[in-house]
Amino acid sequence: MGSIDKYIFRTTLASFALVLVSLTGVIWITQALRGIDLMTSQGQTIITFLGLTSLVIPALILIIAPVALMIAVSHTLNKLATDSEIIVMNAAGFSPFRLFRPFFYATCVVALLVAFIAAYLAPEGMRRLKQWDADITADVLTNILQPGRFAQLDQNLTIRIRERQPGGLLKGIFIDDRRDPKERATIIADHGTVMKNGNSSFLVLEDGNLQRFEAGKRDPALVAFGRYAFDMSKFSKAHDVTLGIRERYLWELLDPAPDDPVYKQIPGQFRAELHDRFMAPIYPFAFAALTFAFLGAPRTTRQSRNFSIGGAILSAFGLRMAGFACSVMAVKSPFAPVVQYLMLFATIGLSIWIIIGGIVLEPPAALLEAINKSNARLLRLFGRPATA
């Protein structure tokens, strides 16, 4: 790449990174707020909360990346036009198609990023999210044991905690264990924490006493302890996780096992998800070419670019909405993905034809005249009266 190409390439990717981080951050915050109950009602730490919610970021990037690239291309072209750089490059012999080359290189980088996320990173994040969520859901200490309530974990086992504190500390623990018919144990502890070792889970109690009533004896045995481990492994076993469509890697969607129960039940969703993964890296090319077709032609600073910016936004929005509609219909119709592929490649082909031909997309003269007349009428209606 020449110096001009490197300049445009760096500007586009820098703008893309800034827009991508900004949009992803805003949407991630809105999604993360839905899981705030992890810290409030289930007593999870901030690390667990951030870890869980951040696993959806790759899936968000799949949708946001083409939009961020479109905004980056629009910003770069608008910057070049405002500084009259496009006109200078056009006068120096740069055709619109030659000017499109650094944008194409930037789009290739974005498409490779999207392809990697679609094939591996997004399903890996969703897979870990599902497993992590299943572990939390299966953990009785975070779901069943609620402060101030008596929880009956077994037919003859009752546990109560007074409150939860940051760091997983449990205060005011009461345990009534009558599972052994030969004895009854009552445990009261000032505080305790959960300790996990492999598949085993223990409630480590501190500063308390244990009162044991044995059958056939009149007086109970009372033991004060500084530290006591109560086995909770029976009640904290993780369940097997069934992977859904979004948790499958690309190669697993390409060649699903014939005896896969999920594939047998919903083969149409496998097809729709597979084509969505294939088309994810194509959308950046469609959006970049479409945006350049509207904004890449040289214009003077006196020529308005509002129509071109609005046309690019509406066209990209319409293309993406049509893609979502085809993805929904692909579950039942095998021809819907074909329509979506045709739309994408037709958009790219038409945009390249406009770029090569140097066609300037402008509104019809009649529409401009009607807008000007409407503006003049509004000025006469709301304008200030002329002074004498």
Express as a percent the part of the chain with pLDDT over 70: 81
The answer, yes or no, to whether residue 134 has pLDDT greater than 50, is yes
Provide the 10 A C-beta neighbour count for residue 219: 7
Residue type at 60? Answer: L
The answer to whether 158 touches 175, Cβ cutoff 8 Å, is yes
d(CA 110, CA 14) in angstroms, rounded, equals 12
CA distance 223 to 186: 11
pLDDT band, residue 220 (cuts 50/70/90): confident
State the helix-helix crossing angle for 336-357 and 306-329, rounded to 10 degrees. Answer: 160
| Phi, then psi, of 310 in degrees rounded to 5 | -65, -40
Determine the pLDDT at residue 345.
94
d(CA 293, CA 97): 10
pLDDT at 26: 86
DSSP code per residue over 226-238:
EEEEEE-GGG-PP
Tokens of 166: 């940051």
* CB neighbourhood size of 122 (10 A): 26
Q: What mean pLDDT is predicted for residues 360-381?
A: 71
Residue 297 confidence (pLDDT): 75
**Residues 307, 180: Cα–Cα separation, whole Å:** 80
Asked whether the beta carbons of 252 and 35 are under 8 A apart, the reply is no
Residue 134 near residue 36, CB atoms below 8 Å = no
CA–CA dist 326, 328 (Å, integer): 5
With both helix axes pointing from N to C terminus, report the angle between 336-357 and 283-295 in degrees, rounded to the nearest 10.
30
Place of tokens 């591996």: 120
Runs of H (alpha helix) within the chain: 3-32, 37-40, 46-54, 57-82, 85-91, 96-116, 122-138, 140-143, 250-254, 261-265, 267-279, 283-295, 306-329, 336-357, 365-382
Q: What is the pLDDT of residues 177-193, one digit of tens each?
A: 888 878 888 888 888 88
Question: Per mean pLDDT, which of 25-39, 267-281, 299-313 is the most reliable?
Answer: 267-281
Average pLDDT over residues 319-337: 89
Round the CA-based radius of gyration of the chain to a whole number and report it. 32
Residue 351 structure tokens:
């945009």
Q: Quote the CA–CA distance of 363 and 189 in Å, as a whole number.
A: 78
* CB-CB neighbours of 153 under 10 Å: 18
Label residue 148 left, alpha or beta by phi (over 0 means left) and psi (-120 to 50 means alpha).
left
How does pLDDT run across 35-86, given as a tens digit for each residue?
Answer: 665 555 555 566 666 777 778 888 889 889 999 999 999 999 888 888 777 8
Summarised one tens digit per residue, pLDDT across range 231-263 is 776 665 555 567 778 888 888 888 887 777 777
Task: Give the Cα separation of 63 and 79 in Å (integer).
Answer: 25
What are the Cα distances from residue 194, in Å, to 142, 164, 232? 10, 12, 9
Q: How many CA atoms lie within 13 A of 267 on its CB side?
A: 9
How many angstroms from the chain centroid is the CA of residue 75?
A: 24
CA separation for the pair 351, 291 (Å, rounded): 9
Q: How many CB atoms lie within 10 A of CB 10?
A: 14
> Tokens standing for 141?
């200490």
Mean pLDDT, the chain, whole residue set: 80
